Each structure stands twice: as C-alpha cells, then as structure tokens.
Structure 1
C-alpha cells in the first residue's frame, strides 16, 4: 500500500480464479523447530506499535493497529502472498466457481487444528459464516467489515452478498452468494473474515456485543479468541501497554522462528525512535518521513512501501446542513493548500489526490485534475451559498500514526489555518484513535474529520465501494443526499460487470461524477509509509498492504 508500485497487485476475478483454483498452498506442514533454540537468536521480537489494539477478535476489528496483532493469530480461507498483494491459498487449498459465479467450492487444507485443539474442517467454515451472517443489534454495527463487503445480515437477506454455506464433506465447503462480483472470493483474504474455533466462540458467547455510549462492550472471548495462526495470545497488559503472543504449538505449518512476539504500544513516533536506538524495541512502523535518512545512517533498515492508500476529509451533511450544498463542499476543497501540506509533511513520493483511490487501481480516471488551491474562489463559493462565516466542527485523532497520516495534528493544524483564511470558523475536536475517535466517526458525531484507507486488495470496489456502496451505513451520510442512491446503485452495477475493460470504464465515469457532481468528501493525498527495524532483524518482509506477518522474523543476539 505505498510508493511507486513495483509489485503488481492482482485482483482474482471469477475467470482468473477458475484457472488458478487448483493452486497449492506454499505452506508445508511439519514442525522444523524454532531457530531461537540454536542460541544464535533472541527468543523475542519486540515491535513498537503506534496504537493500542481495540480487541483481538478480528471480526469486529476495523483498524490497522488491531489487525497487526490479530494477523499473527488468525488465518482465513484465502491469504496474501508475503511481500505482495497477490491473493493465494491459505486454509483453502483450492476453490472453483460455478458457471454463473454464484456457487463457490472450497477444498480445505486437512490436518489443521485451532489453537484449542479443535479441528478445522468444512463444518467449522460454515459455523464461521453463520456466526458472521447472524449478527444482531449492536453486533451488526460493530461488524463493519461484513457490512462493507457483504452488505447486510440474516435479518435482511435480500441485501446480503452471502447466501449460504454447506459442508459437502469434511474437507469441502460450498458457499453460495447472491450476485456475481469481482470481489468474491478475494474478500475472504481480509483479516476480518478469518476462521475461528466454533467451540470457543460458543463457549465465550462471541456474538454478545452491546452498545455502550458511543462505542461497544465486547464479550470476554473478544479479548482471547482462538484461531489457527502461528501465534496465540499470552496476555494483554494494558497497564504496561504491551501485548504478548507466543508460538502456537498446534500450528499446522512450521513453528515460528521466534518463540515470542511483544507489541509495545508507543503512540509518539519520536519515542518509538528513541526506544529503537536504545534497543528496547527491534522495529516499528510508520517512522516520521523526516527521520528516514537518519535512521538509515544509524544502521537501521528502512523499507518503503508503495502508496496504496488515501487520506481524506470526511464530511457529514446530516449533522451540518450547510454541507449539503455542493458549492460549500467545493469551497472547502479550494481552501485547502494540499500541495504545501504534501511537500512539508509527507514523504517523497506522496501525491495530492484527485479521487478516492490511487492511480494503480483499475478504474482510476487519468483525466481528472486535483482541485486547485484557490482561496478567493473558496470565498466566492461560500458567499454564493450563503455560508460566509460558517462554523465547521473539524476533528482529528490523537495517540496514533497512520500510513496516510504520519502526524494527524500537524495536518489538521495546516488545514484549520487554510479554512480560517477563507472565513470558516473551525471548532477543533480531538480524541484518541481507539479511545473514542473511531466510534465518534462511526456514530456521525463530527461535521468534518481526517481519516483514510489503505487498500485491502487491488480493486476499485475496495475503495469506492467501501466508502459509498452501502447507502444505509456509510460515514459520509450519502443517504441524505439526492444522488446518494444513484451512486450506491452505480457502484454495485460496476462491481458486477464481468468484462474488465467495461468495468474499468464504468469506474472512471463514477470517479468523475464523484469529483465534479457529488463530492461527498475531500480526497487529500496518497502517501508511501515506511517500516524500520534494527540491523539485527532478518526475515521481515514489508507488505504493500501494511499486512506484515512475523513468524519468519529472527533477531540476532
């Protein structure tokens, strides 16, 4: 997800999957033991995390800091090839669609067990789909990824992509969907749809999510879930801000090369760098771009990922009526000096955005130009709309660094100054990333806010569809806009187009409409984030999706 793409990202369409369905997993069963036992390496890899995990059940997770941890403990039917964004077999060894693309047969890896010793089989697969599909109440709101990608739940089956799952035999699961889409089964590589132990979920009442103020309370299971990955949770020490994982001795593949992972939560980037220098951590994500050269001079390894993301300013026309006016939204866009922000605060290779997806994604419209920085035009548009002197509540997150947003407050400060320069009164709001900010965004509590998205796979639907397809539930509140349903319907139609050239053209048209006619939010920039480790670390492969796995990492003594 970052920088000039050197590794092509492959979206496996139904046709491509028919050809590649018999591909075998690169994972080999068997335990070769831990290299740490040789005495040449430390038995612990300590990573500096930019934020605290929200929980450890990936189904309800929504943010990168949580997925960084859950990814080490859980796996799905499909996975992503290390160092790329190419989809590959994981717990499913192969898959094949019916002629109409509505029935998918998954041949499962055999001999796999969950970390509680329970077998992974077709019944377990269907139990997981049933659990996800049959969410009720607050669980439906908490399960954002299911809502984004599958549409709805069992109480509204007419809106759901998922239809049913049957265990044909122990190693064969048959999944039916309701419509052909370029995204299935690729979406099964997402962390949220990882397989978990049905026995443990039932015992832990895994679906017992309750609304609590602006957020949720989760069952005990969510803090100690059971997956099939190379690691399992040992403890989460909130007081000392550490998460400790240990090797899963029931793992079907090679045992991890380092027996223990410790995630040390250090929100401040400068503090993460100091701890790396002191040797108290072995690496961290998202080093400040101004530190890259210095980190390398100190002998560290700095891996720069391709820019496969989007930073945007979200807008909520339901909360602030003035934002329903296109002229007001255009005025805010013209007020932002994005070029200066990119040059002063983002790393080399960052770009001003013209649309809600990076240029490497099929459907990107090369004819669109970014809105120009033009304060006078912004003032004129506000005057035409009768919105001179309007007040805008504008929020940013604290205690976090994101791939598309290295320093949220500095970016917010720059844009606040720009907005005030054209007469907008800015009411500043901030909350910790996993301490209220994301909940507030989900609950429509801000007029405007800074947020972003790192792609899960290379498809326009993973960007535009994630933001705007679900008319009933999206952060931009497009349901109150006269064009909201049209945009939602057009995105669903585009995603269902089988011909790649036709689908690409449809998304190019939609991108133009979003930029010129709708402008539901303001795309800001694309930024290449980095990952840094000490020179003692080997085996860590940077992911274009910021989806690194740590089971092959070693740390020299």
Structure 2
C-alpha cells in the first residue's frame, strides 16, 4: 500500500539502517524510557506501535510513503475503503455508487450524519471541495514529488495540455456527489480507496492553508495544516508529534460516526532498526511492530507473541532490460533465463513461510488473472538448448541486486541474488554481479534501463491489473525495454485499451489475454514469487486485522492485560 516511484519502486517504504551494537543497546534503553513516559501511570487503553520510519507529514494528499499513510489512515477516510483482511472494495464515506454505461459518470451516495474532527459537516460539497483542491494544485503541488498518486491515477491538473482523467465534481444534493471523468478507467472506484484521496475538512484546510507548500531545494516546507492540524472523519484524531522523541500520538474520536475505537490512545514510535524494534517488544517498551525478520518468526511465536503473516499481495520479479545487451532482445534468451532459475527452491529456501511461486506478474486474487499461461519449470538443460538455438551458448549478463534495503517482497536481496545466480551458472550463463545501494544508484539506474538483469518487485495499492502490469509495461520506454523492443508499443496500447474498457466482462477478457501473451510472446521479466510480510504484537494485543495491502487500521484493537 506502496510509497512509490514508478515503475515498480516504493521509494519511501521501510528502509533498513545499519546501527552498531553499542548504539543499538543505548537506543533501546532510551526508547523504553520515552515510551514508558508516554504511557503514563494510568494510560487506559493505549497501544504503542513500533513504526519503521517517520511520517513525512500528515496531509495524505501530498504523501507517497507507507509510514505517513500508516498514521493518516487512522484519522481519515475515503469514499471507498477495503474490506478488512482483503483487497475488496467496500463502502466507507460513500454508502453506494454507480456509473453510467460509458464509465465516465460516477454517482456516489454519501453517508449521513458524519462530521469532521473540527465539527464541519461531511457532505457532497466537502467531497467536491477535495476533488477541486486536488485538480487545481499550483506551484510545487503540481509536481510528482508532492502529488504522486494524483498524477499516477488522474494524470494531470487544470490547465495542462494533456487532459486529466478528472473532469468535474457536482454536489447534486448534500448526500449525492457526481464525479465526471474524461474517459472510462478500470481504476474506478478502487483507486479512491488510496490514502492520498482521503476526504479532509475543507474548513480546516482553508484555516490552516493546506496548499501553502514551499520548495526548499530538494525538500519542502509544509503548511501548518499538514504538520499540526490534519482533519478527517476517522476513528482517531491527531494529538501530537514529538519530533525529538520521534513519536506520534493519536486520540480516540469520541464523536466518530461508526463503531468507536477501543483504544483511548494510539502511539506510533519511530524505530528504524528492526533489531531494536524486536528488543523493544521483548522488553515491553512497545506493543507491536511491522516487518519482523523472517528468521525471528518461530522464536517470537515460541515466546507467545502473536505473529500474523499477511496474505501476499505483491510480486518479486527478475527484470530483463533490452536496452544494452542485444542478446536479451531475443525471446528465446529470455525464456532460457526463465527455465534457468529454480523458483520452487527460491521460495522454500530464501523466503518466509507462506510465500508462493509466481506464475503471473500479480497475485491470483487480482482481476484478469489467467491460469492457463505458459509456465517455466526449472530445466537448466532446456535453458542451454534455447541459448544455443539463439546463437548465445556462452551468454554473459550483468545481474544487478540492491544493498542496504529489505522489502516485503524481497526480505534478503543478497540471498535471493546468490540463489538465482547459482542457478544461472548451472545453465551455462556467465553472471557478472553488480550491486548498488537501493537509494545510492540502484533504483535510479534500473529505472533508466541500465541494469541488464535485475531484482525488483511491487506491493499492490488496490485490486486492479492496471496497478500492476499497467505500472510495469504501460509505457513504450521503461526499465524493461526501449525502442529496440517493437512490441513494447503494442503492449502499452493493449494495456491502455483494457484500462479504458467500460464493460467489466470485456475488460476482464482483455487483461486475461494480455497476461497469456506476457508469458508466451513478450516475457519482459520472469515472475518469481509472492511473499507475505509479517506483523507481530504482544500477547495482550487483541483484535488487529492484517491487510494484504499492509494498510492496517487500529480501531478494532484492544488491550487485555
């Protein structure tokens, strides 16, 4: 629930910072003291959660990182949400919706009796005020650095040469909002469940100048609204952010329209190092944390901690760039790579329990999934034959892998690289390793097509083929191919046509056909695995429902001691 730099990256999701053993011990001690002071002597129902990173701000529209969304989704809601534990769209601030036959007009029936945290009424005027705010961004707000998900979903802003997917919003009456699009899209209505499109109080945004963002070099100075006064309709409301102690405090919204939160207070304590998060849980300083090391799961279970493994909603793939190495433009060579890697062994030996071998570029619970695709079992001898037929019996490739990072789909980059490189060498492929830090050249170079063969992946934002294969292959020049791949334009056009198709059954057929051809006729990458990231909580934490989107909501959590 990404966070992203397209195609295929989540720049701001959880990173891993190296800390010395001595610093780790000191930090753990100081964190325990800070957390205990936050709890107080009589904190009632308080949960302290160890977050891997700090939120960038508290206005989700300007965010793209998972740690900001982890906080804001507790305070804010969208027109639609996702059913707990699944990726299925469900009503949130809208109770129902329908579209015109051509897929351009969407009518949303809104929930009555809802108020924002500042007492402002939630109604159709508030919905349209948010859409118009997003569409009419100016200055830095029009950049991908700030309005990433708007640009990815809707394309552009008012006055752009290229038309935006968004056309207009009309408040027909207080409980009916009509959104006009310029074309049909498979993204609707699921994309409106993205945290960036949470509906915020127009009153608070005006009062605290939400759009007053100033560029400062490569960073930004945000508004008073984004830093101190985020205002939504959710079960928690903003309390405070102590940057010196790196902790965010949210309080229960006692006026919430739905079932009230069980917790009086929810604290997110920023602990970047995974080993420190684990130590804090063991010492009782925090009540839970995300992304535990897969090697620690059995030990944590044996100590009665509640380890929940999410359903996988991601993909790890072996990318194949056709920019520099002419041999990789030959389909037989790309198929040889697919036969050369032992994906079953990779899943069993290098990935956590619950990981699955991937046959497509997204999980089976996404629309358009095709069972009857060409599959590549581990067969090094067949790989050798294909390379010989293609005239490359002594194929040499650069195989890139990232350092200084873990990802839900790639918990151990070095181990995964070593396993796959060993497989390739058994098939007679000469492997030249290339490793770079994730934020020190790896993702930027991969994005430009500089890596010949590389490891990368994606965690889905919502249930849509476009969010996966549209992201990967929907442009004629990307990390996989440039102009030397003549079918790149054909594939991009097919993906665009499928996204635009208003009839769901026909759109499903189109995506299914594309998925078949991706594996047999194109093969721009080799799908490797779907890997389920875990989350761990103390025995006294009850009621947490995990999300395949890594988008947990804590309103259902209670503390039983």
Superposition TM-score tier, normalisation by shorter sequence: 0.7 to 0.9
Separation of aligned partners in 1, 2:523 and 2:157: 29
Q: Does 1:276 align with 2:281?
A: yes
- Cα deviation, 1:240-266, whole Å, max 9, x if unaligned, reads 443333334664445432122222334
Aligned to 2:313: 308
What aligned pairs does 1:336-351 form with structure 2 within 5 A after superposition? 336-351=341-356
Contact 1:495/1:503 (8 A) holds in 2:
yes
Structure 1 residue 445: deviation in Å?
7.5
What aligned pairs does 1:382-421 form with structure 2 within 5 A after superposition? 384=391, 388-396=395-403, 398=405, 400-402=406-408, 404-415=409-420
Q: 1:212 to 1:328 in 2, by over 3 A?
A: farther
What aligned pairs does 1:235-254 form with structure 2 within 5 A after superposition? 235-248=240-253, 251-254=256-259
Q: Does 1:534 align with 2:541?
A: no
- Cα deviation, 1:215-270, whole Å, max 9, x if unaligned, reads x5352454444333222344444554433333346644454321222223344444
Structure 1, 89-98 or 135-144: larger mean CA deviation = 135-144
Separation of aligned partners in 2, 1:252 and 1:163: 30
Contact 1:149/1:466 (8 A) holds in 2:
no
What aligned pairs does 1:62-461 form with structure 2 within 5 A after superposition? 62-135=64-137, 139-142=142-145, 143-156=147-160, 159-202=163-206, 203-206=208-211, 208=213, 210=215, 212=217, 216-217=219-220, 219-220=222-223, 221-224=225-228, 225-248=230-253, 251-314=256-319, 317=322, 326=331, 329-330=334-335, 332-373=337-378, 377=383, 381=387, 384=391, 388-396=395-403, 398=405, 400-402=406-408, 404-415=409-420, 422-431=429-438, 450-461=455-466
Separation of aligned partners in 1, 2:441 and 2:248: 21
- Over the aligned positions, Cα root-mean-square deviation in angstroms equals 3.8
Structure 1 residue 401: deviation in Å?
4.3
Q: 1:98 to 1:364 in 2, by over 3 A?
A: closer
Separation of aligned partners in 2, 1:320 and 1:204: 51
- SS for the counterpart of 1:244 is strand
Q: 1:442 to 1:57 in 2, by over 3 A?
A: farther
Separation of aligned partners in 1, 2:266 and 2:324: 43
Separation of aligned partners in 2, 1:326 and 1:218: 49
Separation of aligned partners in 2, 1:370 and 1:427: 28
Contact 1:148/1:466 (8 A) holds in 2:
no
Contact 2:247/2:267 (8 A) holds in 1:
yes
Aligned to 1:43: 45
Aligned to 2:35: none
Structure 1 residue 507: deviation in Å?
1.7
Separation of aligned partners in 1, 2:326 and 2:214: 33
Structure 1, 515-524 or 320-329: larger mean CA deviation = 320-329
Structure 1 residue 331: deviation in Å?
5.3
Structure 1 residue 321: deviation in Å?
7.6
Structure 2: gaps of 5 or more residues: 2-38
Structure 1, 40-49 or 542-551: larger mean CA deviation = 40-49
Structure 1, 418-427 or 376-385: larger mean CA deviation = 376-385
Structure 1 residue 165: deviation in Å?
0.9
Structure 1 residue 76: deviation in Å?
0.5
- Cα deviation, 1:425-468, whole Å, max 9, x if unaligned, reads 22211136xx9877776677866654433334433233222333
- SS for the counterpart of 2:144 is helix
- SS for the counterpart of 1:371 is coil
Q: 1:226 to 1:442 in 2, by over 3 A?
A: farther
Structure 1: gaps of 5 or more residues: 2-36
Separation of aligned partners in 2, 1:436 and 1:67: 26
Separation of aligned partners in 1, 2:149 and 2:67: 15
Structure 1 residue 554: deviation in Å?
1.6
Separation of aligned partners in 2, 1:235 and 1:319: 51
Structure 1 residue 537: deviation in Å?
0.8
What aligned pairs does 1:448-527 form with structure 2 within 5 A after superposition? 450-469=455-474, 476=480, 481-497=485-501, 500-527=504-531
- SS for the counterpart of 1:95 is strand
- SS for the counterpart of 2:266 is strand
- SS for the counterpart of 1:217 is strand
Structure 1 residue 342: deviation in Å?
0.9
Aligned to 1:545: 549
- SS for the counterpart of 2:75 is coil
Contact 1:363/1:504 (8 A) holds in 2:
yes
Structure 1 residue 107: deviation in Å?
2.7
Separation of aligned partners in 2, 1:319 and 1:153: 36
Structure 1, 182-191 or 318-327: larger mean CA deviation = 318-327
Separation of aligned partners in 1, 2:93 and 2:181: 20
- Cα deviation, 1:89-139, whole Å, max 9, x if unaligned, reads 212233233343322222323443333444433232222212323346763
Aligned to 2:30: none
Contact 2:398/2:451 (8 A) holds in 1:
no
Matched residue count: 514
Separation of aligned partners in 2, 1:211 and 1:333: 46
Structure 1 residue 501: deviation in Å?
4.6
Separation of aligned partners in 2, 1:41 and 1:240: 18
Q: 1:416 to 1:145 in 2, by over 3 A?
A: farther
Aligned to 1:556: 560
Structure 1 residue 318: deviation in Å?
5.6
